[in-house]
Amino acid sequence: MNQTPDITPTTTALLVAPAAVLMFGVFVLPFLFLVVLSFWSQVPGSLSLDTSFTLTNYVRIFSDSYYLGGLWTTLWLSGFVTLICLLLALPLARWIVLHAGRAKGLLIGISILPLICGALLPTLGLVNLLSPLGFINGALKSMGLIQTSLPLLGNITGVSIGLVQAFLPLMVLPLINTVERIPHDYEKAAMSLGASPFVVWRRVLLPLMLPGIVAGSLLVFCAALTAFVTPQILGQGKVVTFASLAYQQAAMVLDWPFASALGIVMLMFLALAGLVGALISRRLARAS
Amino acid sequence: MTSRFGKGLMLAGVVAILLFLLAPILVLIFSAFDGGNIFRFPPRSYSLRWFEEAFNHNEYKSSLWISTVLGVISTAIAVGLSSLAAFGLVRGKPSYRLALEVLLLAPLTLPLVVWAIALLSIYAQLGMNGTLPGLILAHVTITMPFAARIMIATFDEIDPKLEAAAKSLGASPWNVVRRVTLPLAMPGLLSSTAIAFLVSFNDVVVTTLIAGAGWITFPVRTFSRLRTEGIDPTTIAIAAMIVGFTILVIVLGQRLFQLSRRF
């Protein structure tokens, strides 16, 4: 690649500036405002803000068992969803790369479909899939396997299914990218030296796929931690997740400083997850 | 484990996972043809009545119209700005290219619900809550990373020598852009337009927080109804049509210009 620019630095700056200014002003600045806002408070009974510094919002989150419970549920739910996504995405990504052939592009298109459809439309389908009269219960009943409907909505089961379904593509895409870079000979070499499929996976494939695993897990964990549309609909208000608490405070209670503090706490957990991911990647880079 | 058996098992597993991935969308489309008021499986009757209802329902029609207007305006701005920026980054090769790519793609990695809470409170201070310009700014921001990623990949693939050749043959800069760069970038422009529009049209996370009462888009209307009254079969019919349209765009995009490679 030729490294000399084809246009002048001034032209470059002029071309880039509108998008950059917009993204900085509308996307980055609000996050800075969020930090400030989380240390303010709402004047009770009104929409005006008390701008004196206070820690009440944070104290409330970490002392009230309702919010702590929501935080705990969200953390383990996100971890669980990440694990299931990983278990499903590993064989899928490898199969798409090795065996899909010409269908590969279309299969990738299918796996990005939930990303483009947004959170809502697939969730509508999931309600009809999981409801007491829905697809799964109806099919099981007409086969005579169950008499009463299995409770798949309004509990953590339904929410987990919905989150795995929604975020599986986030795991599949980075995994496909790493699997594509592993030469197929490595596996054959290990096999010819007498390694069983299990050993091939554990000692050869998984270590090579680890960068993709870390990247995908981070994406899924972050997405699950901050999801609120899927948990609200499939949990039918009975599963309290952290993001739905923040959404309620912002959209219904209209306590924006408190909603901001909830948002900041989410960001801190995301940063923590990112840090763990970065540490794993760095150890890996040193080991290889 | 014999290798043929292992392969069969693998294939069955992969098909099951793909089915799981697609199940909600397949059920959504299937249940739109259920004749009853509440979806049940197996359906007692099949009919097209909910599609008919969808086209006669004024409340849904107005919210679909709002979604479309918002999507078209936001997409035009996002694709325009991101194309300029992508061209600048690829052809100008500035030292800050990486930093700017991170900035343009940031909404893909940072949680939009947290951002929307902040935007909502800023809009409230500025008196912009529930206004169309406020909504458009928000939608341009969430669609920008999708458009920018595709446009950067597109310009990266266009050989600058083609532009240089046109220039050396005496074409004016404007003619180089119009006759060489734009035609070559057309597949990328169409891909990013389609994806950006769908992302804006389908967004519920950000819009439900900042839409206010005046500009209720279709996903926001569906979401708020869903929480209070449960599923309306008319919604299912409309949702099935939107998903069908989305699938059509992806399949066409894949066929015509390898959409998945640009992601």
Using a CB-CB cut-off of 8 Å, the residues of chain B touching A233 are: 223, 226-227
Give burial (CB, 10 Å; 0-12/13-18/19+) of B5.
exposed
The percentage of residues in chain B with a pLDDT greater than 70, rounded to a whole number, is 97
Among the listed residues A273, A260, A173, the one whose alpha carbon sits nearest the alpha carbon of residue A222: A273
Most confident of A187-196, B103-112, B251-260: B103-112
pLDDT the model gives residue B125: 87
Neighbours of B227 (CB within 10 A): 13
The percentage of residues in chain A with a pLDDT greater than 70, rounded to a whole number, is 99
| Chain B interface test: which of A51, A81, A121, A160 (most B C-beta within 10 Å) | A121
pLDDT the model gives residue B262: 65
Q: Which residue has the higher pLDDT, A284 or A240?
A: A240
Decide if A23 and B260 are in contact by the 8 Å CB cutoff: no
Position A110, amino acid: I
Question: A124-142: string of b/e by CB count within 10 Å (b at 16+)?
Answer: bbbbbbbbbebbbbbeebe
The answer on pLDDT for A3 being more than 80 is: no
Radius of gyration of the CA atoms of chain B, in A: 22
What phi, psi does A42 have (nearest 5°)? -90, 135
Distance CA A213, CA A206 (A): 9
Q: Which residue has the higher pLDDT, A22 or B177?
A: A22
The percentage of residues in chain A with a pLDDT greater than 90, rounded to a whole number, is 56
Q: Is B69 on the interface with A (CB under 8 A)?
A: no
CB contact residues (below 8 A), chain A span 67-126, against chain B = 88, 91-92, 95, 99, 104-114, 116-126
User: Are the C-beta atoms of residues A41 and A50 closer than 8 Å to each other?
Assistant: yes
The answer on pLDDT for B89 being more than 80 is: yes
* In a domain? residue B178: yes
Distance CA B203, CA A151 (A): 29
Q: Which residue has the higher pLDDT, A107 or A38?
A: A38
* In a domain? residue B36: no
Q: Is A154 on the interface with B (CB under 8 A)?
A: no
pLDDT the model gives residue A1: 47
The answer on pLDDT for A2 being more than 60 is: no
User: Are the C-beta atoms of residues B106 and A27 closer than 8 Å to each other?
Assistant: yes
* In a domain? residue B42: no
pLDDT the model gives residue A286: 77
Q: What angle separates helix B58-92 from helix B97-109, to the nearest 10 degrees?
A: 160
Lowest mean pLDDT among A30-34, A120-124, B252-256: B252-256
* In a domain? residue B117: yes
Decide if B203 and A225 are in contact by the 8 Å CB cutoff: no
pLDDT tens digits for range B245-257? 988 888 888 777 7
By three-state DSSP, how is residue A42 classified? strand
CB contact residues (below 8 A), chain A span 213-242, against chain B = 219, 222, 225-226, 228-229, 232-233, 237
Using a CB-CB cut-off of 8 Å, the residues of chain A touching B39 are: 128, 131, 133-134
Convert chain B into a string of H (helix), E (strand) and C (coil). Answer: CCHHHHHHHHHHHHHHHHHHHHHHHHHHHHHCCECCCCCCCCCCCECCHHHHHHHHCHHHHHHHHHHHHHHHHHHHHHHHHHHHHHHHHHHHCCCCHHHHHHHHHHHHHCCHHHHHHHHHHHHHHHCCCCCHHHHHHHHHHHHHHHHHHHHHHHHHHCCHHHHHHHHHCCCCHHHHHHHHHHHHHHHHHHHHHHHHHHHHHHCCHHHHHHCCCCCCCHHHHHHHHHHHHCCCHHHHHHHHHHHHHHHHHHHHHHHHHCHHHHC
The answer on pLDDT for B2 being more than 60 is: no
Q: What domains appear along chain A, each with residue ranges and CATH number?
A: 54-118+168-287 (1.10.3720.10)
pLDDT the model gives residue A267: 95
Domain count, chain B: 1
Distance (Å) of CA B30 to CA A115, B229, B249: 21, 22, 20
* In a domain? residue B227: yes
Residue B263 — pLDDT band, cuts 50, 70, 90?
low
Q: Which residue has the higher pLDDT, B261 or B222?
A: B222
Q: Which residue has the higher pLDDT, B253 or A213?
A: A213
Distance CA B75, CA B203 (A): 13
Q: How far is A284 from chain B (nearest CA, A)?
A: 23
Candidates A18, A107, A118; nearest CB to B204: A118
* In a domain? residue B72: yes
Using a CB-CB cut-off of 8 Å, the residues of chain B touching A18 are: 81, 84-85
pLDDT the model gives residue A33: 94
Decide if A131 and B11 are in contact by the 8 Å CB cutoff: no
Nearest CA in chain B to A10: B92
Candidates A18, A127, A173; nearest CB to B81: A18
- Domain holding B170, by residue range, is 50-262
Decide if A13 and B88 are in contact by the 8 Å CB cutoff: yes
User: Are the C-beta atoms of residues B108 and A115 closer than 8 Å to each other?
Assistant: no
pLDDT the model gives residue A288: 63
Q: Which CATH number is B201's domain given?
A: 1.10.3720.10
Can you tell me the ipTM of this complex?
0.90
Using a CB-CB cut-off of 8 Å, the residues of chain B touching A137 are: 41
Using a CB-CB cut-off of 8 Å, the residues of chain A touching B258 are: 105
| Structure-block tokens of residue A247 | 């959404």
pLDDT the model gives residue B212: 79
Neighbours of A154 (CB within 10 A): 17
* In a domain? residue B103: yes
Decide if A37 and B121 are in contact by the 8 Å CB cutoff: yes
Distance CA B52, CA B57 (A): 9
Helix (H) or strand (E) holding A49: strand A49-50
Mean pLDDT for A109-117 is: 78
The answer on pLDDT for A166 being more than 80 is: yes
* In a domain? residue B6: no
Decide if A105 and B223 are in contact by the 8 Å CB cutoff: no
The answer on pLDDT for A106 being more than 80 is: no
Helix (H) or strand (E) holding A50: strand A49-50
Nearest CA in chain B to A16: B85
pLDDT the model gives residue A187: 79
Q: Is B141 on the interface with A (CB under 8 A)?
A: yes
pLDDT tens digits for range B57-81? 888 889 999 999 999 999 999 999 9
pLDDT tens digits for range B146-184? 999 999 999 999 988 998 899 889 888 888 989 999 999
Candidates A105, A134, A260; nearest CB to B254: A105
Please list the residues that pair with A50 across neighbouring strands.
A41
Q: How far is B179 from chain A (nearest CA, A)?
A: 17
pLDDT tens digits for range A132-159? 888 899 889 888 888 888 899 989 999 9
Q: Which residue has the higher pLDDT, B193 or B9?
A: B193
Among the listed residues A96, A114, A98, the one whose alpha carbon sits nearest the alpha carbon of residue A106: A96
